[in-house]
Each structure stands twice: as C-alpha cells, then as structure tokens.
Chain A
Amino acid sequence: MTSVVRYTKLWLSLAKFSLLGEMAFRGNFLVKVVVELLWLGILLLFNFTVFQQTTNIADWNVNQYLFFIGCYFAMGGLIETLFLDNCNQFADLVRSGDLDFFLLRPIDEQFLVSCKHIDWSCAPNFLLGVCVMIYALWVSDWPFDGLKVFGFCVLFTSGAVLAYGFLLILTSASVWLMRNQSLFEMWWLFSMLMRYPREIFNGPWATPTGLFFSFVVPIMLVTNVPANVMIKSLEPWWLTWYALGSAVVVAWISRRIFKASLRRYRSASS
C-alpha cells in the first residue's frame, strides 16, 4: 500500500514537472494541438465521405462508427500522453548507455522508463475523442444506461492496459534490435489494428487474421470491446471477460519481457 502511495506521489510530481516543461514552450504545445485537430478532422472527413456511399460498414452505422472513431482517438491520446514518448526514447537510452542512470535509482525500472515524462500536448486528443464519443451518442439518441457507462469505463481502462503491454513489448525489442528508432512509426502501424471494427476481417484469409489479432495477439480488442459494449450490445459476454483477462496476461508477459531485456542490456556505450 505504501508503495502505491509512493508511486502515485512520484507520478504526480513527474506529471507536474512535465507540465512545467511543456508550458515553457507554449507555441510548440499549440502547434501540436493543431496537428492533432487536423488529424481528427481528416479521420472524420474520411468517415463522412465514405458514409455518403454506404449506410453501414460491417454492421456499424454512421453514428456507431463515429463513436468507434472517438473511442480510438481517445485511446490513442491516452497512450501517447502517458507512455509513447517515454518508450520512444528507450532505444536511445540503450544505445547510448544512459539507461545505467535509470537502473541505479531506487525506483522500479519499468515505471521510470515508461512513465517518466507525460506528454501533455497529446492530452487534448483524449478529450477530443471523448467529445466525439459524446456527440455520436447524442446524435444517435442513445438512451442513458449507467451500467453500460460503467462497463465502458472498465473496458476502456483494460484496453489501455492491453495497449500499454504491447507498447512495452515493442519497446523492449530495442535491446535485441539495437535500434528501433522507428518505434513511433512501428506503434502507429501496429495500432492501426485498433482503428477499425474487427467485423471488417471477413473472408477466407481475413477471418483467421482477425481471430489471430483478437485472441492470440489481442490488439483489436483494445477499442472494439469498449466501443461495442457502449454503443452496440454486451454480446458476446465472454468476449468482455476475455478482453479483461487478456489485459492482465499481456501486462504480465510484457513485464517479463521488459525484465528479460534489462538482463540482456550490456551498458555498452557508457
């Protein structure tokens, strides 16, 4: 319990420190927000252009799909705010040998490596995603259901844990690869699987691929399950339990892999 309090206090201090750093470059902060607004604008434009040609995509109508986009954007924003920038720097720490300074501190290495810096400029993405989700619920006359909101919050959190686990696995790979300077790009490409409803994986080779990325490497469950629960239905109920369970398993596996990567680290350049 004391260690939870200690790490919470530490994280809050790091968050405050990151915010101070961000505010020193307000212009840069604003530009980053504009970039993210543009990206969301393009996603929505694509959505509206496509829905002028059809009424549904894999059983998701325009409002449901809009909610899905909001969920994806909020999830992406959360991961980028909390972890992506930290993980992106890990390869450099390994190559330069600066990881030594992290290992010498009396703090959990995984915490320090993956949570040290909070990228506040990505935080508006999370809020924008939430706004899109609320708008989608509003235009689809969604009847308020407290249980669904609770289920969504739990599954969204478990989705974030799942995504963090995969990001940590990719990050750890830099110890073996010596350089994954393209982690940012790799994550963007890999997280593309979170961007679409899993029902689009339909066909002779697509169905097995969809099943693989839902149950073996369950990256597609990150956004699909919470969005489904909120705007469509709780069915199939076992999938929600599977998503929760896989978040725990992936979090555990990713920690093992991260620890293994640290054992492999040779501090070569220091």
Chain B
Amino acid sequence: MDSVRKYFKILRISLVERLVYRADFFLTTFFRFLPLITTFLLWEAIYAGANKDDQADFEIATFTKDKMIAYLLLVQISRMFSSMPGLSTGIAREIRDGNLKKYLLQPIDMLTYLIAFRGAHKIAYIATTALPYALLFLLFHNVFDGFPGPLTLLAYFASLLLAFLIGFFFEACIGIAGFWFMEVTSLMYIINIFTFFVSGQMFPLELLEQYPYVTTVLDYLPFQYLAYFPAMVFLEKKQGVDLLFGLGVEACWAIALFLLSRWMYRLGLKHYSAFGG
C-alpha cells in the first residue's frame, strides 16, 4: 500500500510540474493541430485528384475519404498514448551524468518511477488537450459512422493501454542501451523517423499492400501497434480473428519489451560505474 502511495505522489508532483509553464504548454498544444489540419487538406486534395468521376463511395486502399480523415484523427489519439518524447534520451543522460545513482541510493525503482512520471504527463496532456480534441472531433463527427459497440470500445481501450506500454518499454530499452553506448540521441532520431512511417502515422498501411511481404513483416513487429492498430480497431476494420490476433501480438510485445527492459537494466547496472553526478 505504501509503495502505491509513493508512486501516486510521484504522479501528483509530476502533474503539478507539468502545468507550471502553462503558456508554453498551451502554445505547443495549439501548434500541434497545424500538421493535422494540413494533412486532412492534403488528403482532401488527393481524393479530389483521384476521384475524377466524383463517385460517392470512392476508395483508396479500402478507405473512403471520410474513413481516411477518421483514421488520421484516431492515429493522433493512439500517439497521445504511445509517444514518449525524451524518455530514452533522458535515461541515457542520467546514466552518462551519473545521476542514475539516485535510484540506487533510494528505495525507488527507476522504471516504475518513470512509468508513474510518464503517466502523469499523459494525464496532464490528455486533460489539457481534451477540449481542443473534443472540438476537432465534433467538427469532423460526420466522418465517423457513430460510436462502435461496447466490445469494440473495450478492445480499443485495451489496444491504447498496450500501445502506452509498448511505447514506454520500447523507448526505455533504447535509453537503457545508454549503459553501453552513452549517447542514444542519434539512434533515437533514426528510430523516430522509421517509426513515423511504419507505425502508420503518415497513412494507413493498406497503402503499402502492393508490397505484401512488407505488411506481413509489419504485422509481427511492434511499430504498427503504436498508431495504426488502435485506430483500425476503433474503425472496426479489425474484427474477429484479426482483432484477437492483433491484440495478442500487441500484448506479447508489451510483455516482451517489459521483460527485455528489466533484463537490460539489471545487466546495465553491473556495467555501470557511476561516473559524474
């Protein structure tokens, strides 16, 4: 019980810290909508260019224009949960600077501390962006065919929660690699760019269906579960066996990355010399 209270306090303090620089926070939040708006408009133009006959149900890679906009909106929600800006570079910096020893000297586990800290950031972010996102969804409500059923919603929330865990432990693993590489910023840049494409943030992975071997490989990698998969669950494009298979693979990745991060951390501590600090 004490342990839960301890990490809850960390969550509360992080939440307060996050809201100190409110103006900066709100300005950035406002700016975050710009790419979304331009992306919508770009896809409107793509559909207008492709659909010369002006067919009502014109599709590109099984997506009507409305479904595409809905997908791009939902991908934002997925990334709200799975993106972890600065996590890996932060861990690597603490290893390099020697500040990691604060976790070793206090009765606190680094990964559990960081997950509470990230949880707070996510709560603050979701709470403060809820209104603008609600307005955006309201503005584009006609691109959705209503709310999905309770079971789909349950699967959707499960996929989002697992996306958070995959995003967290994936970045934590890269940060922990700092025990051996010291600096992971460049590696993270490369991974971020790669993830941006293969997670389906740019467009639905169905657009790559002319390369079936690529999409098959992506099914078994963790990246699509960071953005594409939860969005597809909400749109009810993943149902039955597909849905269970996807959730299964996603859960396996969350567990595998959790175990990998703990194993790497233990191994890294043996290697750690606590220089600096």
A180 interface residue (CB < 8 Å to B): yes
User: Is the pair A49, B208 in contact by a Cβ cutoff of 8 Å?
Assistant: yes
Is B44 close to A, CB under 8 A? yes
The B contact surface, by secondary structure, is helix
Number of cross-chain contacts by CB at 8 Å = 100
Q: How far is the CB of B182 from chain A (nearest CB, A)?
A: 12
Interface string of B33-55 (1 = CB under 8 A from A): 01101100110111111100000
Contact between A54 and B28, CB atoms less than 8 A apart: no
A189-B31 in contact given A35-B186, A42-B193, A177-B23 (Cβ < 8 Å): yes
Is B220 close to A, CB under 8 A?
A: no
Determine the distance from Cα of A36 to Cα of B259 in the docked complex, in whole angstroms.
33
A interface secondary structure, majority:
helix
Q: Are B197 and A190 in contact (CB under 8 A)?
A: no
Q: How far is the CA of A49 from the CA of B207 in the complex (A)?
A: 7
Q: Tell yes or no: A201 within 8 A of B by CB.
A: yes
Query: CB-CB < 8 A to A206: which residues of B?
Result: 41, 44
- Is the Cβ of A28 less than 8 Å from the Cβ of B186? yes
| Apart from A50-B46, A55-B50, 10 more pairs, CB < 8 Å | A34-B190, A39-B193, A50-B203, A52-B210, A53-B207, A54-B50, A58-B45, A189-B31, A195-B38, A200-B42
Number of A positions contacting B (CB below 8 A): 42
Q: 1/0 per position for A178-200, CB-CB distance to B under 8 A?
A: 11111001100110110110011
Query: Using a CB-CB cutoff of 8 Å, which residues 172-207 of chain B contact chain A?
Result: 186, 189-190, 193-194, 196-197, 202-203, 207
A179–B24 contact, CB under 8 A? yes
Interfacial residues of chain B within 60-118, with CB under 8 A of chain A in the complex: 60-61
Q: Is B27 an interface residue (CB 8 A)?
A: yes
Chain A CB within 8 A of B147 CB: no
Interface check B213, CB cutoff 8 A: no
Q: How many of chain B's residues touch chain A, expressed as a range? A: 20 to 34
Residues of chain A having any CB pair with chain B under 8 Å: 28, 31-32, 34-35, 38-39, 42, 45-46, 49-50, 52-58, 173, 176-182, 185-186, 189-190, 192-193, 195-196, 199-203, 206, 209
Contact A192 B27 (CB under 8 A): no
Known: A177-B23, A177-B27, A209-B37. A35 touches B46 (CB 8 A): no
| Known contacts A35-B189, A38-B193; A196/B42 CB under 8 A | yes
| Given contact pairs A58-B49, A182-B28, A202-B45, A42 touches B202 in the complex (Cβ within 8 A) | yes
A199-B190 in contact given A49-B208, A192-B35, A193-B38 (Cβ < 8 Å): no
Contact B24 A182 (CB under 8 A): yes
Q: List 8 A-B contacts (CB under 8 A).
A: A55-B49, A56-B49, A185-B28, A189-B28, A192-B38, A200-B42, A206-B44, A209-B37
Sorted nearest first, the 10 A-B pairs with minimum C-beta distance are A54-B50, A31-B186, A54-B49, A189-B31, A58-B45, A200-B45, A200-B41, A192-B35, A179-B21, A35-B189
Select B45's contact among A38, A57, A176, beta carbons within 8 Å. A57
